[in-house]
Chain A
Amino acid sequence: MDSVSLIGMVSVITAGLTIAIGSLGPALGEGRAVAGALGAIAQQPDEAGTISRTLFVGLAMIESTAIYCFVVAMILIFANPFWDRVIAGG
């Protein structure tokens, strides 16, 4: 197998694995965070504003892990430096 198809194959498979595994953890974490925030709002409805603001910020922090994985997957597929080098060299 020549290097172009090898790099392409590895990149595509790795991109899929990256986003698949990388979205597991944030999904679990966000579920826990939302569940905790909903429980807190149910107990203290007066504090709903503060809780939801903190929840949004926290969700964004958790979600950024998945976003990093997404960016890496996008780089692997659309802006792969090794692919570009092999195409340019060959």
Chain B
Amino acid sequence: MTISPDAVILWRWGALHINATMAYTWAIMALLAGGSWLITRRLSSGPGISRWQNLLEVLVTGIRDQIREVSHQEPGRYLPFVGTLFLFIAMANLLTVVPGYHAPTGSLSTTTALALCVLVAVPVYGVAAEGVLGYLRKYTRPTVLMLPFNVIGELSRTLALAVRLYGNIMSGTVIVAILLGLAPLLFPIVMRLLGLLTGMIQAYIFAVLAMVYIASASAVGAPRRGQGGAADTKGEDNG
């Protein structure tokens, strides 16, 4: 039994090989980018919009609302990164309904790459929000003694992000594989359904946690932090 799609080699030429993780990641990227391009080619602001534009508007508005509720800040700056994370992971997990598909999120390589993106994005957004010194000073809060613990926490939560997503998706795959050997008639389908639900929740959680980490790094200097629902009524000008 293969517990990682990294081991599934689809194409090999000399030392180069393309495994299922890479191939399906590219497929998802092509699907997301191509689908968005096809849909946004004919946008209309009139009363009659196409059903696909409606779908995209629901998605984007939903992600914006979630970001605004989680971070109490304007979502415009965070929408590209967090929204991409959510859409990619959600699409990767949902496509398991396609036969022969291996979810790239079931490979530790993919989830590590995503978690490293979050690790890099946190200081980038933090420095952009309050400058290099302001960001670095956060590591010495509440006292300088906490500096090593803050650094360790930064690294360990990255590890936790990667292993959480990987473990959830991989466990779904492994359980289905085990059940196929034990009771192949109906139970694997039920567990697949449960896996779809878990996949969506994990995509949501990954995005929310990334948002929480970024917001906590760029929050203190932001004036709207701590005013509760005041940010919810702000206009949507910088989208």
Contacts and interface: CB of A to CB of B under 8 A. Distances in A.
Contact of B166 (A53, A56, A71): A71
B130 interface: no
A64 B208 CA distance: 15
Contacts of A70: 167, 171
A78 B166 CA distance: 16
A64 B160 contact: yes
Given A56-B204, A57-B205, A74 B166 contact: no
Contacts of A78: 1, 3
B124 to A, nearest CB: 23
Interface string A62-90: 01100110110010001100000000000
Interface in B135-156: none
Nearest to A58: B205
A57 B171 contact: no
Contact of A71 (B1, B69, B167, B208): B167
26 contacts: A50-B69, A56-B201, A56-B205, A57-B205, A57-B209, A57-B212, A60-B164, A60-B201, A60-B202, A60-B205, A63-B164, A64-B160, A64-B163, A64-B164, A64-B167, A67-B163, A67-B167, A67-B168, A67-B171, A70-B167, A70-B171, A71-B163, A71-B166, A71-B167, A71-B170, A74-B171
Which 7 pairs between the two chains have the least Cβ-Cβ distance?
A67-B167, A60-B205, A64-B164, A71-B167, A78-B3, A70-B171, A57-B208
B31 interface: no
Interface of B: 1, 3, 69-70, 160, 163-164, 166-168, 170-171, 174, 201-202, 204-205, 208-209, 212
Question: Chain A binding site: helix, strand, loop or mixed by DSSP?
Answer: helix
Contacts of B201: 56, 60
Nearest to A69: B167
Contacts of A57: 205, 208-209, 212
Nearest to A60: B205
B202 A68 contact: no
A67 B164 contact: yes
Contacts of B212: 57
A29 to B, nearest CB: 15
Nearest to A75: B3
A69 to B, nearest CB: 9
A74 B170 contact: yes
Given A56-B201, A57-B209, A79-B3, 14 more contacts: A53-B208, A56-B204, A60-B201, A60-B209, A63-B164, A67-B163, A67-B167, A67-B168, A68-B163, A71-B166, A71-B170, A74-B3, A74-B170, A78-B1
Interface string A37-72: 000000000000010010011001001100110110
A56 B198 CA distance: 11
